[in-house]
Structure 1
Amino acid sequence: MNRIGVFAFYDIDGIVDDYVIYLLEKMYPFFNGILCVINGNVDEIGEGKLKKYCHEMIIRPNEGYDTYAYKEGYFFVKDRYENIDEILFFNDSIFGPFFPLDEMFSKMEKKDIDFWGLSRYIGGDENLWGLNNFDRVPEHIQTLFWAVRKKMIYSGDFDEYWRNLPEITNYKEAVSFHEMIFTDHFSKLGCKWDSFIEPGWYDRFCLYPLMSFPRTLLEHCRCPFIKRKSFIDAPVFLNSPVKGGEGFALINYLSQKTDYDVELISKNITRTTPVDKYFEALAPVFFICETETVTENCEYITSNVSVVIENPEAYQIDMISEVADFGNADVFIYCKKENEEIIAKEKIPNATVINGNKSGFIGIINELREKVGTSEFLLYLNCNASDKEKKCDYENEILQDGAEHIELERDFSMFYNSLHSFKNVAYCAEFLSKRKEFGVLISLNPTHDVFCMDYSITAQEKEKMQNMLSEMGIKLPLSEEQKQIRNIGGSFFCCTNILKPLFRDCLEKVEEKCKCGVSLTEYLPPILAQNGGKFTAVSTTWEIASGRLFTTKSLLKGLTGVIGTPDKFNYYSSILHRSKGTLEFYETFFNPKSFRERVYMTLMALLSKKCFMRLQNIKQSDKGEKYHYDTFGAINKDVTKDDKN
C-alpha cells in the first residue's frame, strides 16, 4: 500500500522529546513518505532528530491547531506524491506504540472502508459548546490518529472540505469545526468508515473509551497508543468523557507488562506540565514497606543508601531504633542538643552523630554532601517541629484558646507517618531501582482538621519559590493556579542524583529567605524530581492510608452536607458550581465590581451548571458566525442562531 503520513507537531519550547522519535521510528516502516508539519518552531537538535524519519518538513505559524497543520500537509503531499492509496494523519498527543503496529495496519487494510481512525468518540451527549448545528455530539472518529483512502483523496469532496474549513482559533473550535463534523459529513456522502478500537462493553459506561478505559484497551484490544492527557487530567469524574482516572493503572501496566520505556513518558510530562497536575492525574500511591517478600541482595542495596536524620528528640530516637530497618546504610544523625546526641549514639551505635546548629534540609544536605553524594539513594527524615507560623486563622484561634496539644499531636502524626512510610530502606531503594520513572517518594499528607485542604501558595510565596529555583538553575513550569505539591513534614526518600542542584553553598541563605507562612523547601522534593525528568510517588502503609481515607470521607461529607440536598445538589460538580457561585455572589458586596460582573456572578449563583454553560454559549455565538456543514457538504454561515440555544 502506498501510504503517506502527515505528522503534526507542536512544542511550546520547540523541543522534540524522545517519545516523539520513538513514535516516528516505529511508524516509519509502514510509510512511503512522512511529512512533518511543525506548528510554531523547533530547535536545531529537534529538527535533526525529525529529519531522520521524516522525508519532508514544513514549519508554519502556530495557527489553527493540528487541524490546519493537517490541511496544509494534505495539499502538500497530494501535490508531491502520485497514486496515493492512503494518507494517515497523526500528531504528538499520543504515547506509544506499545504493540507491533503491523497488527493494526494489517487488520485495517483488510476492511472495505474509505476512512478510519484509531478510536472513536461514542457520542449522544448534549453539545454544550453549541458551535455547530448538532444538538447532540455525533459518533465520530478522533483526529489524533486517522486515515483516508484513495476514493476520498481523489473524489474532490475531500479537497472541498478542507478549502471550506472555517478559521480555528481555539480547542473548542478545532473539535466543533472538524473532528465532530468530519465523520458525519462524509458518512452522508456515502463513505464507509471504522475504527481500530471496536465497540465493546465499555461503551455503555463512557463516551470516550480511550480516556476512560485506556488500560482495558491496552490489555484486551492491544491498542497501540494512549493519550498524553491520561497523565495530565486528574480523575475528578470517574469515567467522564473529558477527565482521566487511569493514569496510575496505566503507568503500572506499561512498566510491568510492556517493553515500552516509561521514562519516555516521565521526561516529557515533567518538562511540560506543572507537578501538581500530573501528580493528581497519576495519584501514585504505593505500599512499598508492607511487602513480606525478602529483598534479594538486601545488604548490597542498603549499602548504596544514606540516611540523614534531622534534629530528633529523645522519643523519636527511641521510635527510629525500634521501627526502622536501615541495613548497611550510612546513617547520619544531626543533633542540636547534647543530651539527644548522647541518646542517639547509644540507641543507634552504627550512626555518625553530628552536633550543629543548622536546620532545613538544604543547609544540612550541603554540609553532608561529600558523605551522602556518593550514595545512590537518600532517606531524609525530618524530626523538626513544624513551623509556628500558620496560614489558617482558625488554627491560630485554637492555639490561643489553649489547645497547643493539637500542634504537638500533628507534629507527632507527621513524624509517625514518615517513619513508617520509609521504615525499610531496602524496599524503597529497590522500588526506585526498578521503577526508573520515579525519582522521589514522599509520605501521605495528613488530613486532620487543620490540614483538611491544600492551600495554594500566595503570589509572594510563588515569587520566592521562583527565585529559589532560579538560584538552583532550575527552570520548570509552575502551575498558573499557584498550586504545588507540599511534602508536609519534609521527609522523603529519593535518588541522590536529583539533589545536585542543591549542592551550592549560597542556597542556605536562600532557604532562610524562602520561609513565608510555610517553609517552601517542603515543596522542593517533587520539583527536584521533576527537574530530573522523574515522577513523584507516595509511599505509605495500609494503616495510614485507611485512616486518611475515612478521615477525608468524613470531612468531605460534612462540607458537602451543608450545601448538598438529596433532590438537587447531590453530586460533586453541582455542589462545586453552586459553592463557587455563592462565593462570587457575596464578593459583589465587598469588592468593586461592574454591573456586568455583578450580573455574571449572580447568574452563576442562581443557575445550574448546565444552564450557565448554555448562557455562555449564546454569548459566544453572538460574537461571530456559527458554522455547520449541510447534507451536501457545503458550508452555511448561520448568523441567525438556533432557537434551541
Structure 2
Amino acid sequence: MLIETQNAKRLAIYFFYDRRGVVDGYVPYFLNDLKKNVSEIMIVCNGKLDIAGKEKLEQYGKVLVRENKGFDVWAYKTALETYGWDKLEEFDEVIMLNNTIMGPVYELSETFEKMDQKDLDFWGLTEYFKIKGDPFGYSPYGYLPDHIQSHWIACRRPLVSSKEFHDYWENMSMIEDYAQAVGKHESIFTKTFADMGYKWGVSVEMEDLRNYSGYPLMMCPKKLIKERRCPIFKKRSFFHMESDFLKNTTGEQTSELFDYLRYETNYDVNMIWDTLLPNYHQFDLVKNMNLVYILPTNQYNRELLEEQTKENKVALVMHLFFEDLLEESYHYVASMPQNSDIYLTTDTEKKKEAIEKVFAKLPCNKLEVRVIQNRGRDVSSLLVGVKDVIMQYDIVCFAHDKKTAQVKPGTMGASFAYKCFENTLSNKMYVANVINTFVNNPRMGILSPPEPNHGAFYPTIGFEWGPNFDITRKLARELGIRVPMNAVAPPVAPLGTMFWFRPKALKPLFDKDWDYKDFPPEPNKIDGTLLHAVERVYPFAAQQAGYYPAIGMTDKFAAIEYNNLRFYLRDFNNIVVNQGIGPYHDDMICAVNQVLVQRGSIKAALKFRMKQKLRRILPEKLYKKCAKKWKRMRGFETEE
C-alpha cells in the first residue's frame, strides 16, 4: 500500500515509561515533531506520572496512565483495544513507538515522505539482524529472525484491518519481563506477518551492514545518523552493558555518537543529560561516554586562561597538616593561576604562622590561612572551614597534604600522593587546561584523579566501596540524593579526596549545616566512617544537581596508568586463557567465578570442564546465563 503524504491519516500510539513519573525535555521535543506528521497521538504511560508530566503530554493527545504491567507490548495492546478495530481501520497508518528512542536528529517528515512512496504493509526505522539460537527461550523459530525494532513499527490499513493482526493482539499473553517482551513480540512480529505475505521494510538502509553488526543502531549509531540520515538514537546507548559493547567495539560508539550530536547537529545534548543523570548509574555513563579527560602538561593558551579566569572565579582550598610537607605543598599550590584565590586551612596557630611564612611569596589574587578544628580532617576543611565563601566561586580545586603512613614501604603511600597531586595540580599548564575543560563542558561537575591500584591498593579496582556503601547510601538519603546507587557499580569518586569541582554541583552537600562535631574525633579508624562516606558521595551530589562526574589525568600520568592496567590485564589473561577459558571477558569472569565457587569438588570440576567444551558449541546459552545474572546484579532497567 502506498500513502499520499499530504492527505494521510495517521495515528501514533506513543508508549512512555519513567521510573520517577517525570517527563524529561527530550519527550516533548520528539512529540513536537511527530505531531506535525500524524493526525492523532495517544500516549500510554505505564506506572506513575506526575502532574507536570501529564500536563506536558496532554498537549499532544489523549494520555492513558495504566499499571506498570506488560511492558510496551501491553501498552500498545491496551491502546488498540481502547480505539477498537473499527476506529483503527479508519487510519491509513497506525504507528506504535516508545520513549526508548531520542531525537529526531532530522525532521520526521523526511522519513514519512520516503516511506510513503514504498508499497509496504508495515515498516520501521531500523532493523535487528538474525541471531542464531534463542537467547530468550521464547522464539517459536528456535532463533531470532531479522526484525524491525519495536521502538517504531508503522502498520498500514491492509494489515491493521486483517484478521491475522486482530488475532495477534487479542491472543497476546501477558508479558512478565524483558525477555518475554523481545521473545514473544519484538523479535517475532516481523516474521509472523512476513510469512503471511505482508510486505515490510525499514527507512534506514542497513542490508549492507549485515556482516558489520547485528545491531547497528547500538554498535555504530553515528554511522547510521551521519551517513544514512537515521533520525533517532537509543537512550540505552548511554547505559548499555559494557561487556556487550566490548564484544563488538573498542568502546568508542557512544562517545562518537554524543560528540557528533553535540558538534555536528542541532540536537540539544542537554536533553540527553537531563534524562540520564537522574535515572542511570554514573559508572555506566562515565564508561560508555568515555568521560576521562587526558590533558597536556606542556602547552596551554595563556590569553584564553586570562579570559576564562576573568569570567569564572577560581579558587583553591587546601588543608595542610604536616609542617614537613609545606615546601612540597607550595610547589603544587603555585600551579594555580595568579588571579585565583587561595584558602589554606590548618589546625593550630603555630602551623598557621609556618604556612604564612612559606607561602608569603605565592603570587595570587588572595591568600587566606584559616585555623580549623582538628576534627574531620580535610573533609571538614571544605564543608565547614570555607563554607562561608565557597559558593562565591565558579570552579574550585580541593586538595590536602598526604602521607598515607598506614602502608609500608613508604614509597607506596608516596606514590598514592603523587597520583593525586599530579592529576590535580601538576603544573600551571595542566591547571589551565583543567579550567578550560570545565568551561568547555558545562555539565561536568567534578573532575577526580583515577583511583589507586598499585601495591596494597590494587584491590581498590573492584572494591571501590570497601566497607562504606551502607554509610554512603545513608548519607545520600539524608542529603536528599536520589540518583541510582548500588553496591555492585562503583562510585566515580575522588578516592584520595583531591579533585576539581563546581560549587553549585556540590550544592546538596553544602546545603547541609555541617559542624565539626558531625565528624569522628581523631584518631579514627581508617575506613567505614562518615569521612569515607563523604569522599564517595561527592560525585552523587553532583549527579543529583544535574552534573556528571569525570576522571582527569595528565598526559604523562595517562601513560603510567595505561601501562599499569595493561600489565595487570595481561597477567590475568595469561593465566585464564591458558586454562582454555575465553575468548571474551565476560566468559572468563563467569567461568572463573564458577571455579572459585565450586572449588574443592571433583564433581564440580568435571562439570566445569564439560561446560567449557559445551561453551564452544553453544556459546549463546552460556552467555545468556551469565549476562542475565550480570544485568540483575547491576540493577539495569528492563528497557529495550
TM-score (norm 2): 0.85
Matched, 1:413 2:419: yes
Matched, 1:607 2:611: yes
Which segments of 5 or more consecutive residues in structure 1 lack a partner in the other structure? 389-395, 590-597, 619-645
User: 2:3 maps to which residue?
Assistant: none
How does 1:191-590 map onto structure 2 within 5 Å?
A: 191-199=198-206, 202-238=209-245, 240=247, 246-289=253-296, 292=299, 294=301, 298-303=305-310, 304-311=313-320, 313-320=325-332, 324-336=335-347, 337=351, 338-348=353-363, 350-357=365-372, 358=374, 359-386=377-404, 388=406, 399=408, 403-420=409-426, 424-453=430-459, 454-456=461-463, 461-481=468-488, 483-503=490-510, 504-506=512-514, 508-510=516-518, 512=520, 516-517=527-528, 519-565=532-578, 569-586=582-599
User: 2:635 maps to which residue?
Assistant: none
User: 2:630 maps to which residue?
Assistant: none
- Contact 1:213 1:239 (8 Å CA) reproduced: no
- Contact 1:89 1:144 (8 Å CA) reproduced: yes
Cα distance in 2 for residues equivalent to 1:46 and 1:159: 32
Cα distance in 2 for residues equivalent to 1:79 and 1:293: 68
Q: By how many angstroms is 1:194 displaced?
A: 1.1
Aligned in 2, Cα 1:84/1:281: closer, same or farther, shift over 3 Å? same
- Contact 1:526 1:536 (8 Å CA) reproduced: yes
Q: What amino acid is aligned across from residue 390 of structure 2 in structure 1? A: V
Tell me the SS of whatever aligns to 1:30: coil
Tell me the SS of whatever aligns to 2:286: helix
Tell me the SS of whatever aligns to 1:276: helix
Aligned in 2, Cα 1:365/1:529: closer, same or farther, shift over 3 Å? same
Q: What amino acid is aligned across from residue 320 of structure 2 in structure 1? A: N
Q: What amino acid is aligned across from residue 505 of structure 1 in structure 2? A: D
Tell me the SS of whatever aligns to 2:36: helix
Which segments of 5 or more consecutive residues in structure 2 lack a partner in the other structure? 1-7, 626-640
1:136 to 137, 140, 143: 143
User: 1:184 maps to which residue?
Assistant: 191
Aligned in 2, Cα 1:569/1:421: closer, same or farther, shift over 3 Å? farther
1:76 to 79, 82, 86: 82
Q: By how many angstroms is 1:172 displaced?
A: 0.5
Cα distance in 2 for residues equivalent to 1:131 and 1:163: 19
- Contact 1:420 1:541 (8 Å CA) reproduced: yes
Q: By how many angstroms is 1:251 displaced?
A: 2.2
- Contact 2:122 2:201 (8 Å CA) reproduced: yes
Q: By how many angstroms is 1:459 displaced?
A: 8.8
- Contact 1:447 1:548 (8 Å CA) reproduced: no
Cα distance in 2 for residues equivalent to 1:447 and 1:422: 26
User: 2:633 maps to which residue?
Assistant: none
Identity %: 24
Cα distance in 2 for residues equivalent to 1:177 and 1:317: 63
- Contact 1:317 1:347 (8 Å CA) reproduced: no
- Contact 1:94 1:144 (8 Å CA) reproduced: yes
Cα distance in 1 for residues equivalent to 2:277 and 2:305: 31
Q: What amino acid is aligned across from residue 326 of structure 1 in structure 2? A: P
User: 2:54 maps to which residue?
Assistant: 47
Q: What amino acid is aligned across from residue 62 of structure 1 in structure 2? A: N
Q: By how many angstroms is 1:177 displaced?
A: 0.5
Tell me the SS of whatever aligns to 1:194: strand
- Contact 1:333 1:344 (8 Å CA) reproduced: no
Q: By how many angstroms is 1:406 displaced?
A: 1.7
Q: By how many angstroms is 1:86 displaced?
A: 0.8
Cα distance in 2 for residues equivalent to 1:150 and 1:362: 68
Cα distance in 2 for residues equivalent to 1:90 and 1:379: 46
Aligned in 2, Cα 1:174/1:349: closer, same or farther, shift over 3 Å? closer
Greater displacement, 286-295 / 191-200: 286-295
Aligned in 2, Cα 1:554/1:457: closer, same or farther, shift over 3 Å? closer
TM-score (norm 1): 0.84
User: 1:630 maps to which residue?
Assistant: none
How does 1:72-151 map onto structure 2 within 5 Å?
A: 72-77=78-83, 78-80=85-87, 83-151=90-158
What root-mean-square deviation, in Å, do the aligned CA atoms of Structure 1 and Structure 2 show? 3.1
Cα distance in 1 for residues equivalent to 2:75 and 2:608: 37
Tell me the SS of whatever aligns to 1:326: coil
- Contact 2:145 2:187 (8 Å CA) reproduced: yes
